[in-house]
């Protein structure tokens, strides 16, 4: 779609059954794909391979929206299934050359790995149209400039992507992805490739424009990078893995220490409560025997427990019910086994 003489939105390449730049075409209607027939007068006819009875209409609204509708036989009416552009990332070239757009991120634009903003001031203001530039020249460029050649370039794979505009289809490389990669690597002008099963090899030269990250669908896009950039990215990934491992280990240790402390505190509190209960019952027994008043000929006697709580716990197997003989007004009576 064009607006005022400039690209406004695009569907991505047609790969025989679907446009891979339209995730909405991964619904059940397109499970087995559709056929596209050029009528020769600027009109194209779409029909479903799975079910010719499926009726679809495509409308370009006055608001610049491209919509898809299908006929619902039960409701006897048209239902909307697709409307684009639907996010800011759908607008053509939102992030400029070598920039990628992801509607799930904030900010939505970022440079591809191995690239940096061409104009950092504009980028900070979220003006992304100037795009990004390479941090390190490719091997072919270094050879032309007389610089140190270094090791051979490689590719960075990006998954579920809306591939850039102006793809070239190399039909003679439709047999395998490896052939597609090898040929791209031999061609100094090739800066990216994508291999789509059932369609073949697509390559790009020059600037990569209108790259978008999808949550599903799309295609794998392989970006050509200098060897040093690939190594740097691996190191970054390793640092992330190590950091996550350290954080995970520290969290696990903290949890173990916390629950150990919690158990010890609970056990200590239970022990103190038991000792207080035993002391209280001893005082209660004294008051009950003498009804709170001692006779004149009886001196006040301070009763002390004959055995410590730890000894009683051991002798009664932690006051196990199997050792309980009975229960009275002062509490339970246990059978004990004491060591000499």
Each residue's pLDDT tens digit, 275-333: 556 555 555 555 555 455 555 555 555 556 667 777 777 777 777 777 777 777 777 88
Residues 121 and 201 in one domain: yes
Question: Which residues, in sequence order, are CB contacts of 337 under 8 Å at separation 6+?
Answer: 315
Residue 36 lies in a domain: yes
Residues 200 and 115 in one domain: yes
Residues 209 and 100 in one domain: yes
Asked if omega into 140 is within 30° of 0 (cis), the reply is no
Residues 196 and 240 in one domain: no
Last residue of a domain, one of 86, 117, 137: 86
What domain range includes position 27?
A: 2-86
Question: How many domains would you assign to the chain?
Answer: 4
Last residue of a domain, one of 71, 86, 101: 86
Find out whether 213 and 161 touch, Cβ atoms under 8 Å. Answer: yes
Residue 19, CA distances (Å) to 2, 16, 35, 50 in order: 18, 8, 11, 17
Token digits of residue 112: 């591809």
Residues 221 and 93 in one domain: yes
Residues 105 and 196 in one domain: yes
Residue 300 lies in a domain: no
* Per-residue model confidence as pLDDT tens for the chain (340 residues): 888 888 999 988 888 777 888 886 645 455 555 666 676 766 666 666 566 677 777 777 877 888 878 888 888 888 877 788 889 999 999 999 999 999 999 999 999 999 999 999 999 999 999 999 999 999 888 888 777 767 889 999 999 999 999 999 887 777 789 999 999 999 999 999 999 988 889 999 999 999 999 998 899 999 999 988 887 645 555 544 555 566 667 777 777 777 777 777 777 777 666 655 655 555 555 555 545 555 555 555 555 666 777 777 777 777 777 777 777 777 788 777 776 6
Residues 64 and 79 in one domain: yes
Separation CA 280–CA 289 (nearest Å): 15
Residues 14 and 132 in one domain: no
Find out whether 162 and 211 touch, Cβ atoms under 8 Å. Answer: yes
Question: Which helix (H) or strand (E) covers residue 268, if one does?
Answer: helix 227-289
Residues 125 and 164 in one domain: yes
Residue 316 lies in a domain: yes
Residue 299 lies in a domain: no
Last residue of a domain, one of 225, 251, 283: 225
Residue 20 lies in a domain: yes
Give the residue carrying structure tokens 């794998």.
220
Residue 301 lies in a domain: no
Asked if omega into 5 is within 30° of 0 (cis), the reply is no
Residue 11 lies in a domain: yes
């Amino acid at each position: 779609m064009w607006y005022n003489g400039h690209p406004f939105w695009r569907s991505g390449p047609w790969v025989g059954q679907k446009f891979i730049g339209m995730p909405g075409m991964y619904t059940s209607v397109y499970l087995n794909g559709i056929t596209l027939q050029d009528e020769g007068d600027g009109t194209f006819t779409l029909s479903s391979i799975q079910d010719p009875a499926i009726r679809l209409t495509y409308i370009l609204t006055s608001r610049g929206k491209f919509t898809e509708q299908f006929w619902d036989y039960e409701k006897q009416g048209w239902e909307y299934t697709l409307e684009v552009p639907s996010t800011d990332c759908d607008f053509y070239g939102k992030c400029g050359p070598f920039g990628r757009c992801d509607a799930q991120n904030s900010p939505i634009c970022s440079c591809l790995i191995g690239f940096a903003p061409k104009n950092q001031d504009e980028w900070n203001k979220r003006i992304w149209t100037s795009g990004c530039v390479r941090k390190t020249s490719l091997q072919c460029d270094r050879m032309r400039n007389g610089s140190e050649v270094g090791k051979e370039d490689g590719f960075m794979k990006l998954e579920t992507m809306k591939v850039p505009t102006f793809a070239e289809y190399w039909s003679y490389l439709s047999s395998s992805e490896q052939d597609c990669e090898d040929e791209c690597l031999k061609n100094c002008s090739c800066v990216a490739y994508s291999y789509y099963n059932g369609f073949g090899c697509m390559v790009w030269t020059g600037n990569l424009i209108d790259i978008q990250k999808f949550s599903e669908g799309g295609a794998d896009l392989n970006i050509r990078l200098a060897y040093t950039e690939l190594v740097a990215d691996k190191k970054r990934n390793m640092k992330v893995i190590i950091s996550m491992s350290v954080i995970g280990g520290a969290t696990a240790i903290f949890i173990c220490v916390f629950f150990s402390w919690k158990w010890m505190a609970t056990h200590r509190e239970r022990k103190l409560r038991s000792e207080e209960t035993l002391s209280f019952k001893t005082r209660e027994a004294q008051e009950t025997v003498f009804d709170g008043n001692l006779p004149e000929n009886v001196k006040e006697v301070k009763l002390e427990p004959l055995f410590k709580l730890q000894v009683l716990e051991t002798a009664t197997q932690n006051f196990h019910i199997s050792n309980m003989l009975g229960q009275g007004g002062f509490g339970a009576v246990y059978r004990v086994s004491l060591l000499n």
